[in-house]
Amino acid sequence: MSGQRISFAGYGAGDDARDVETILRAGAAFRRDGMIVLDDLVDPRVVERARAAIERGHPDYIERDPERSFGLYPGRFTLPLPLRGALADRALLCPPAVRSLLDRLLGDAYVMDSSGVLVSLPEAEDQSWHPDALLFPELPIDRLLPPVAVAFSLPLVRMDEISGSTGFRVGSHVAPDKNVLEFAPVVPVGSALLWDFRVTHRGLANRSNRPRPVAFTVFCRDWWVETAPREAIHYEKLTVARSVAATFDKGMHRIMSRAKVID
């Protein structure tokens, strides 16, 4: 089925065989479609705490600052925020199921390249269709390669026909766009999206009366890096509080090796 949804309800509760089967199904769907909806991934209360922390600690998050955020479309931009407090909750930042899935998609040497909040304001219109990045945009060779970079998108409010979602041309990472299905999933709070940087997609218009914040993280193979926008001269792709970094196990230290540690 295109636009596969996989439920992670009960993942990590002790049924190892079931967990492995879930990861295998999710990996197969991702490789085929270039994207997947990870349903029931995070406790909605964790998501709500993160949203409240942003609104409380960064009340100006809905105001684009060209020096520290970037975006090519009116009302839509990416804002990097320091990972501390509720924003650094491991269940939100890199859930165990996502780590297991990335092990299969990117190998065991992947890292986090950036993290922030993608903000779509009520006036934000549809984006143009685009991939996030290609290694060889002038040649069709990317369709033959395994994933290099993956986007993990966790909505902090429900994404639907009113608030807007992310539209995908399913399978476009391995096939021409004209041969693929368009799919714009409803994503409730607690569910997430994972997509291949090569898949063609677009953010859809926000037709509600409130912002649509999405926690957004990029994972990639350790030899790849996304170039920061030139216009955002104070843009920090990935910062983490020293107190948070001190709690990382060996695996998280590797994943977060590109992070700038701040007090």
pLDDT-derived band at 51, boundaries 50, 70, 90: very high
CB-based contact 152:217 (threshold 8 Å): yes
The pLDDT of residue 37 is 98
| pLDDT given at position 108 | 86
The structure tokens 């709070």 sit at 189
| pLDDT tens readout for residues 177-230 | 777 889 999 999 999 999 999 999 999 999 999 999 999 999 999 999 998 878
What is the rounded distance in angstroms from the CA atom of residue 97 to the CA atom of residue 257?
A: 20
- Window from 1-5, 16-20, 21-25, 69-73 with minimum mean pLDDT: 1-5
The answer on pLDDT for 69 being more than 60 is: yes
Average pLDDT value for the chain: 94
Q: Does domain 5-262 have CATH number 1.10.3720.10?
A: no
Give residue 153's pLDDT: 97
pLDDT at site 1 = 44
**pLDDT, tens digit, 9 for 90 and up, residues 146-183:** 999 999 999 999 999 999 999 999 999 998 877 788 99
Q: Residue 218's pLDDT is what?
A: 97
- What average pLDDT does the segment 71-94 reach? 92
Find residue 169's DSSP bridge partners: 182
Residues 94-119 have a mean pLDDT of: 96
Q: Which residues contact 101 (CB under 8 A, 6 or more apart)?
A: 23, 26, 27, 30, 194
**Per-residue DSSP letter, 130:** B
* Adjacency order of strands within the sheet including 201-203: 181-183, 166-170, 201-203
Ranges of each domain in the chain: 5-262
pLDDT confidence tier of residue 70, bands split at 50, 70 and 90: confident
- Least-confidence region, from 2-11, 73-82, 136-145: 2-11
Distances (CA, A) of 68 to 50, 65, 147, 209: 20, 6, 29, 25
Give the angle 199-127-63 at the CA atoms, nearest 5°.
Answer: 120
Q: What pLDDT score was predicted for residue 3?
A: 53
